Chain A
């Protein structure tokens, strides 16, 4: 069964350092999402791509976060500089298209701890 791949699975960093997360969606999935999930809360959308274009990044803290999907396939999410409040699970998801009825498939996530 095709899966969404993410790496690393765990990342520990000190505040003010830069971190980067990678996501490889299911082959053929045009839509890619990055979510942040704080313990005890539901996932919160950070950015949504349709192919290589950003569709929604209204919740992305653009002063420190950036995301790209240059060739419309895999994607990178970067935080620079990391802050203590960024400690969370970062989930990547993909769907076949961006229609409202399309199922999202999630990767295993990257658990970030900022010290």
Chain B
């Protein structure tokens, strides 16, 4: 089993829709979690960190479920500009960052 798993998609949604992605991780000792966004042929950029209590940034909401070992990303009121690949990243203290394979989102007009 891979350390970080994501549904590769693509998720094709109309503008204005709400879409959610999940990411599961295998190492129960994992301590920090992030969502990165990667546009086609560009570098990844941090979208948001994921905190135990959950956090929200505008239209984006991230949740962490330690018991079930998954994190989620919810995007409300999707925009065309949200089309990208969303990478789940997990880190254990003193070890490296492990990236998931990414979930591809296409927001359609």
A43-B99, A44-B99, A56-B96 as given contacts; A100 in contact with B44, CB under 8 Å: no
- Is B20 among interface residues, defined by CB-CB distance under 8 A? no
Chain A CB count within 10 A is highest, among B8, B94, B96, B100, for B96
A81 to B20, CA, bound (A): 43
Task: Give chain A nearest CB distance to B101 CB in angstroms.
Answer: 5
Instruction: Report yes or no: B99 in contact with A42, Cβ–Cβ below 8 A.
Output: yes
The bracket for how many chain B residues form the interface is: 20 to 34
Task: Write 14 A-B pairs (CB below 8 A) sorted by A numbering.
Answer: A33-B97, A41-B101, A42-B99, A43-B87, A45-B98, A48-B96, A91-B43, A100-B32, A100-B91, A101-B32, A104-B46, A106-B45, A107-B43, A109-B43
Instruction: Report yes or no: A100 in contact with B31, Cβ–Cβ below 8 A.
Output: yes
Task: Give chain B nearest CB distance to A98 CB in angstroms.
Answer: 8
Cβ-closest 5 pairs across A and B: A42-B99, A106-B43, A100-B91, A100-B32, A45-B96
A32 to B49, CA, bound (A): 20
Instruction: Report yes or no: A100 in contact with B93, Cβ–Cβ below 8 A.
Output: yes
Interface of chain B residues 32 through 48 with chain A (CB within 8 A): 32, 34, 41-46
Q: Which residues of B contact A107 (CB under 8 A)?
A: 43
A101 to B42, CA, bound (A): 23
Task: Give chain A nearest CB distance to B104 CB in angstroms.
Answer: 9
- Is B52 among interface residues, defined by CB-CB distance under 8 A? no
Interface string of A44-65 (1 = CB under 8 A from B): 1100100000001000000000
Knowing that A100-B91, A101-B49 touch, tell me 13 more A-B residue pairs with CB under 8 angstroms: A40-B8, A40-B101, A42-B101, A42-B102, A43-B87, A44-B99, A45-B98, A91-B43, A100-B31, A100-B32, A101-B32, A103-B46, A106-B44
A103 to B33, CA, bound (A): 11
A42-B87, A100-B31, A100-B93 as given contacts; A108 in contact with B99, CB under 8 Å: no
Residue of B nearest to A55 (CB): B96
Instruction: Report yes or no: A108 in contact with B42, Cβ–Cβ below 8 A.
Output: yes
